[in-house]
Structure 1
Amino acid sequence: MVSSMKVEYLSKEMIKPSSPTPENLRLFQLGLIDQITPPNFLSLLLYYPSDSDQVDNLHIIAKMQRLRASLSEVLTHFYTFAGRIKDNTMITCNDEGVVFLEAQVNAFLSDIFEEPDADLVHHFIPIKMEDPLTPTSPLIFVQANIFKCEGLVIAVSFNHKIADIKSVSTFIKAWSAHAFGSMNEAMLPKFLSGTTLHDSPDQSYPITPPVIEFKMTKCVTSRFVFDDSKIKELKTKASSKTVQQPTRFEVVSALIWECSARASRINLGLTNRESMIIRSVNIRKRVVPPIPENSIGNFLGPSIVRLELDEEIVLQQLVIQFRNDLEEFSKSIAEAIHHEGALCKVCELAKEVKIAQNGDDLDLYYCTSWCRMSFYDTDFGWGRPKWISVPSIPVKNSMILTDASDGKGIEAWLTLSEEDMELVRSYKELLEFASLNPRIL
């Protein structure tokens, strides 16, 4: 059934804020990190089984009306999302709106749960990561997918340049609260103009920072699920005198990096190969003074860890390197965001990443965590999602970690070359702790 699945678009419209943006808020200055961030679209999918025993078209229509109305209302608060990017330096908050698509799927949601597939769910998202961006492009796309069983998959695609995953979490939480009638002042977003975070720039660097770009390549995405009990076992294995209590993010990402780097060395016929992993770190709590958690934009910094040419790949040592680099990052980089010289530091990091991206003498990996973002609490009025997922992305050597439905386990979405993935899927040291693409219970 899944192989013959078709998606038929029923409607497409532009949803605008329910109230106009005040004139004094019509221009929003992008921060340095926003300017460096690539304008790719990233997507999140929320899966809602039917909340009714019988299919009722009027019930479906009511859901769609609620989604549209609440989206219009929440955009009044998230006014930058309804605008357009200008010259990579600012957003014109002109209330042009976001795209809302309604689609009919000739399948049952249970079919998707039985065979989760990161490639298949591309049918449910409104825009691809590699789609080009123009000055008139909307910044947010939403697609509501209605299944034969009246199950619903809501896909949100957002331009990474205007928001990190924490910003998207704040947005979706407020959107569902509007739909549920439970919106409160604590959910309102905060907008910090780029000019308020970075004082005088260092003139030895260009005023416009270099934009980090991802190379799109043919690769394979696999889903590995780490249950809570297995993560506890992995923490015990990865702990050391230096890091006695590693986090679940540290141990899962370190194990996946270990297996991926080893697979690359084997497939290249090398015993020695330099490897680098770039982890996206939320700096909101790490800067001095802290930035509010509901601040909108990109408040991420790259934590960069290297495996040297002849360095042995050992899980405990990788976790130690993760912890040491994060502590160093918090001291030397994150604390500089509010002060002079921030442009210099940001550009130095961007330059290091771009050099690594253009080199052929090392393996570069990307890792980001979407855990603890409360996506499983997203209730538009018909219950919480049974599952959340991401689509496959054409960026080699990337991993996205999301919460499992119990909030304790982790789902890892790993993208590698076909050759490396074939080896990684067979590694006992990974499958001892992770299940390869189990069905959604």
Structure 2
Amino acid sequence: MMLAMKFQKQPIKLIKPSVPTPLHLKHYKLGFTDELAAFIDVAIVVFFNKDNNHDGKFVGKLEKSLEKTLTRLYPLAGRYVAETQTVECNDEGVEFIQAKVNIKLEDILSPKVNVRLVDEFIPFKTKARSDVLAIQLTTFECGGVALGVSATHKVVDASTLCTFLNEWAALNREENEIKFTGPGFISSSLFPARGVHPLPLPLITDSDTLSKYTIKKLSFSESAISNMKAKAISSGKLGTRHLSKLQLVSAIIWKAFIGVDRVTHVNPRESILCQSINLREKMASPIPKHSCGNLWAICATESTMLETTQELAIFLYDSVKKHINAYSKVPHDSDEGQTMVLNSFMNMTNIPESTNMVPLTSWCKFPFYEADFGFGKPVWVVPVTVPMKNVAHLMDGAGGDGVEAYVVLEVKDVPYFEEALDVNVFGT
């Protein structure tokens, strides 16, 4: 279902740090994990119900608390310079757009709404932009609000975006005034620059080509996931494995993508699912949980035959466990640790074009639903999906329960994907 949305936007404001960034912090050099990040945005929209605190002063309060947050996370108010792979922390500020939309919050929350409409709640973004962060605050007719946040992936990953939102929320609640709970941006000190090129992702940039794609939303309730776990355990094939909800849902989506590939290609192809691993608190020399920057690696899992969903889930479990165990044994600042992280990206560039590669991103377990700005926790948090063929983006469900999956597909492939979905009988 498409909504006839009309936005009234006020002129852009530039929100700057409340305290000028010191001279010795003016140039933030990217690390190699930042260098490898694609030229895309990491973006999310957070929806809140109407609250009595949504008075005439609440926008001004958000701006003031944002100023304080930017003082702590100062690269976000700077400008990215591609030629030098640096962020010039010149306090130019963050674009802040205030808007009104002619619908009610319940309209956009309807399960029948085309999820592509969520893109309208983030600031307009262009490929050539140099600003690191932009924000759009939209008020619905009913008084509910949507907070759209978009940041360049060259500087920010999902964990960083979540840390920023929760820090801003805490300051807006007038808590955590004394000390920032995290170490700030440290990816360049952990993984020094190597002059490597970004990963070559098959992004869809042409508008005509993009029109051939759609985003399919899948919702998995906690009860459905529990039932799948119970069936997997009763099969007796898991051994000592305890499958997570992420592995179960990922396996279902992966199998559906394999099913599409079997229909659209004459000969069966090897399939590889590529997912990210958050390196925070994973390595032998622990990286603090709230560290900022691109602090992740890639875990690739192979499938050569048309396995069952259960077998795919087991492959994912074993693959992730193997990678995490390996990272846990090496310090991040050792030659072995640096090489291990770098090779996880480089191995992805060596995957043959003939392979059915399925990129999957999960933001599950990141506490986006804890971002309470003083007017209640979010009722819905939606990631803005990267325009790339056969990609899946997983997120905790509304209120933090279950899993929601956003899958980018060619329109012509949707029937094959739906036919291959294995959501009723786990293991068939």
Structure 1 length-normalised TM: 0.87
Cα RMSD, aligned residues only: 2.3
CA distance in 1, matches of 2:238, 2:150: 43
* Whole-angstrom CA distance in 1 between matches of 2:45 and 2:84: 27
Partner of 1:4, secondary structure, is coil
Q: Distance in 2 between the 1:306 and 1:262 partners? A: 15
Question: Residue 34 in 1 paired to residue 31 in 2?
Answer: no
Give the corresponding residue for 2:199. Answer: 212
1:47 aligns with 2:47: yes
What secondary structure does 2:3 align onto? helix
Secondary structure class of the residue paired with 2:10: strand
After superposition, the Cα gap between the structure-2 partners of 1:65 and 1:198, relative to the gap in structure 1 and judged at 3 Å, is closer
Cα distance in structure 1, aligned partners of 2:178 and 2:315? 40
TM superposition shift of 1:194: 4.5
Identify if the C-alpha distance between structure 1 residues 37 and 82 changes in structure 2 by more than 3 Å, giving closer, same or farther: same
Kindly, what percent of the aligned residue pairs are identical?
27
- In structure 1, the partner of 2:222 is 228
Give the SS at the match of 2:184: coil
Query: Quick one: structure 1 residues 28 and 391, their matched pair in 2 at CA, closer, same or farther if it must change by over 3 Å?
Result: closer
Q: Equivalent residue of 2:50, what SS?
A: coil
The counterpart of 1:313, out of the listed 304, 307, 317, is 307
Q: Is the 8 A contact 2:284 2:327 kept in 1?
A: no
Secondary structure in structure 1 of the residue aligned to 2:119: helix
Q: Alpha carbons of 1:61 and 1:94: their partners in 2 closer, same or farther (altered >3 Å)? A: same
- The Cα of 1:275 is off from its aligned counterpart by 0.9
- Amino acid of the residue matched to residue 111 of structure 1? D
Q: Which runs of 5+ in 2 are unaligned?
A: 205-209
Q: Which letter does structure 1 place at the counterpart of 2:199?
A: I
Q: Which residue of 1 aligns with 2:94?
A: 98
CA contact (8 A) 1:260 1:420 kept: no
Work out whether 1:265 is the aligned partner of 2:262: yes
- Match 2:356 to one of 357, 363, 366: 363
Between the aligned partners of 1:195 and 1:392, the Cα distance in structure 2 is 27
Structure 1 portions without partners, runs of 5+: 53-57, 202-206, 434-441
Shift in Å, 1:59: 4.8
Deviation of 1:403 after TM superposition, in Å, equals 1.0
1:119 is paired with a residue whose SS is helix
Aligned residue type for 1:233: N
What do the CA deviations read for 1:25-52 (whole angstroms, capped 9, x no partner)?
Answer: 2222322111111131121111112225
Deviation for aligned residue 1:170: 0.9
CA contact (8 A) 1:82 1:138 kept: yes
Name the structure 2 match of 1:139.
Answer: 132
Q: Counterpart in 2 of 1:196? A: 189
Q: 379, 391, 399: which is aligned to 1:386?
A: 379
Q: Deviation string for 1:89-121 (max 9, x for gaps)? A: 332211111110111111111111123322111
Q: Give the drift of 1:427.
A: 4.2
Change (3 A) 1:194 1:413: closer
* 1:343 Cα deviation after fit: 4.9
The equivalent residue for 1:303 is 299
Do the aligned partners of residues 193 and 349 (structure 1) sit closer, same or farther apart at CA in structure 2, a change above 3 Å counting?
same
Q: Which amino acid aligns with 2:413?
A: D
Cα shift at 1:350: 2.6
* Residue 416 of structure 1, CA deviation: 1.9
Change (3 A) 1:60 1:117: farther
Q: Which residue among 115, 123, 148 is the counterpart of 2:120?
A: 123
Structure 1 residue matching 2:218: 3-state secondary structure: strand
Letter in 1 for 2:314: I
Residue 413 of structure 1 aligns with an amino acid whose one-letter code is Y
Question: Is the contact made by 2:270 and 2:355 (CA closer than 8 Å) also made in structure 1?
Answer: yes
Q: Which one-letter code corresponds to 2:195 in the other structure?
A: T
Residue identity in the other structure for 2:368: F
- Find the aligned partners of 1:381 and 1:406 in 2 and give their Cα distance: 17
Counterpart position of 1:438: none
Residues 210, 383 of structure 1: alpha-carbon distance in 2 compared, 3 angstrom cutoff: same
Does residue 146 of structure 2 align to residue 171 of structure 1? no
1:35–1:88 contact (8 Å) kept in structure 2:
no
Q: What TM-score, normalized by structure 2, do the two folds share?
A: 0.89
Q: Is the 8 A contact 1:246 1:319 kept in 2?
A: yes
1: CA distance, partners of 2:301 / 2:309: 13
In 1, Cα distance between equivalents of 2:371 and 2:343: 38
Amino acid of the structure 2 residue aligned with 1:104: K
C-alpha distance in structure 2 between counterparts of 1:179 and 1:195, whole Å: 29
C-alpha distance in 1, partners of 2:415/2:63? 43
* Residue 299 (structure 1) shift: 0.9
